[in-house]
Each structure stands twice: as structure tokens, then as C-alpha cells.
Amino acid sequence: MVLKLLDYVSNGSSAMEGNEIFEILLNLLETNENISISFKGLGAVSSSFVNSAFIRLLDKYSFNEIQKRIKFIDTLKIHNNLIKQRFQFETSTRLTNTKV
């Protein structure tokens, strides 16, 4: 399944748009479907969009499960860097918090 972000968001600049994508992803993941998320046509997206759309998935799925089931396609380097940085930070923070 390919999820084209521009079919659902105008520019990926807000948490509200991220929440919409998050809900769509949850529904797709519940059907055991693998998802390719297309950033085609999007410029820079905000960290609030990435946090709301993708990082919140860590509340329901392990990072390994997310990696197996979701692929990011048609991305710019800026998308890749932001997504990678946010997942690294969150997985590190969550790991540290579970050790306390």
C-alpha cells in the first residue's frame, strides 16, 4: 500500500496534519498491511508533523515493527534526516526511561 501524503495534507507543517496521517496509519497497520509513505511533492515538513504522524506510533508498536512495516519513499534528504533524528531521540529516551 502506498500512502501519498499530499492526498491528505497540504504541506506537512502542523501537528493537526500529522494527527490525520497517524490515524490513517493506525488503521492500515491494524490490517497487517505494509505501508510505503510517499513524500512526493512535499518540501520540508515540521518536526511537529513528524512527531504527530510517525513518532506517536512508538506508543503502540516497537521501533523494529515500525521499521519492518513502514517504508518512506520519494523523500528528500531533509525528510530522511528529520525522521531519523526524531526516531533516534525517542527510542533512546524511551530506552533510558525504562531503565530507571
Query: In this predicted model, what pLDDT tens digit does every residue of 31-68 receive, in sequence order?
Result: 988 999 999 999 999 999 999 999 999 999 999 999 99
Amino acid in position 65: E
Does the structure show a pLDDT above 60 at 99?
no
Question: How many structural domains does the chain have?
Answer: 1
Distance (Å, whole) CA 48 – CA 31:
26
Q: For the whole model, what pTM was predicted? A: 0.91
Closest to 27 measured CA to CA, from 5, 50, 48, 3: 3
pLDDT score recorded for residue 94: 75
Angle at 56 between CA 43 and CA 12, to 5 degrees: 20
Domain of 73, in residue numbers? 2-99
Name the pLDDT band for 7 (thresholds 50, 70, 90). Answer: very high
